[in-house]
Structure 1
Amino acid sequence: MSKPDLFPKKSTAGIAVDPRTLERVIPESRRPDGSLRKQIKIRPGFTPQEDVSRFRGTKQAQMDAHTLPKGHVIGWTPPPTTSASTSSAKSKSAKKNEKRKEKRKEKAEEAVTVKDNWEDEDEDEAGENTKKAADGGEVGSSDRAAAPAAEGSTAKETQSTGDELVETLEKLDVR
């Protein structure tokens, strides 16, 4: 037999099981004036009126057992906790559709990004022109103004400054 709790649960009438004697008692308590009330023993089998539950017929008891908790919405089920368990139970077509969605997302990421400002287009054109200059391609008269290289610089210097410019532009690119 297990040991009773040190702080036993009380019934509505205040009856608890004494942990030392295992008898039902009303524990001693303190009155408002400071004096102590004695502990009161309860006869075996006695149930005070406060502890008597309301009579419920069998059908009423069954209905009470099957009632939904307060605030419950009929038809609502909580979302699944793990997504890994649902992926293993997917059909072949669902798995194929999932792969297709992933491919679409990848293509969308690779696609041209939407520009926020008209000014961004000018900066991108300048960046493309510097890429052409860094690759050794032709640079037109409008491209020369955008290229950072000076007249006396060599091709290696132009390439290194162009690479630095491209890196800084890529860092600034918002996707």
Structure 2
Amino acid sequence: MSEPKQNPMLNVKINKLCINCCVGESGEKVNRAIKVLQELTGQVPSVGKAKITIRGFGIRRNEKISAFVTVRGQKAEELLHTALKVKEYEIKSSSFTPEGNFGFGIKEHIDLGIKYDPSIGIFGMDFYVVLDRPGTRVAKRKIKKAKVGKQHRVTKEEAMKWFTEKFDGVIINK
């Protein structure tokens, strides 16, 4: 006999990939970070503002200090693949959340294959991957909302298993 069929509703997939580039000051530096993210993703990034004033960092409330972009679908998978190639497909186990999401950082954007431009400089960025299963829309839709059952939510262990199977990744226990 053949293998038992697996339920397609239990397949884990990438919901979105959030890329954040926090420069910590407003002005030209944020504009250069926006250019880097736009070149990387092909989308127009949003600008993040400071929530509170921190005198030690020289940041004022509502000052533009970061740029971020959310990528979904096939493009998210391609970008994640190139970013993990920089990290050599190694992620710490502490990078995974109990909800099944994970994140990591890259110190230089030129490692992703973007050509270095002296007028822009070098930026580091954070990648955050949100995983889910088909059917999680019932918790987010406007009409007839319902809860997603505990059995159907992605756990930390399932996210780690998905990462090792999909990308042949290595999880470092630290």
For the pair shown, the structure with the greater C-alpha radius of gyration is 1
TM over 0.5: no
More contact order relative to length (CA 8 Å, sep ≥ 6): 2
TM-score by length of 2: 0.18
- Structure with bigger helix share is 1
Please give the TM-score of this superposition, normalised by the length of structure 1.
0.18
**Greater fraction of residues in strand:** 2
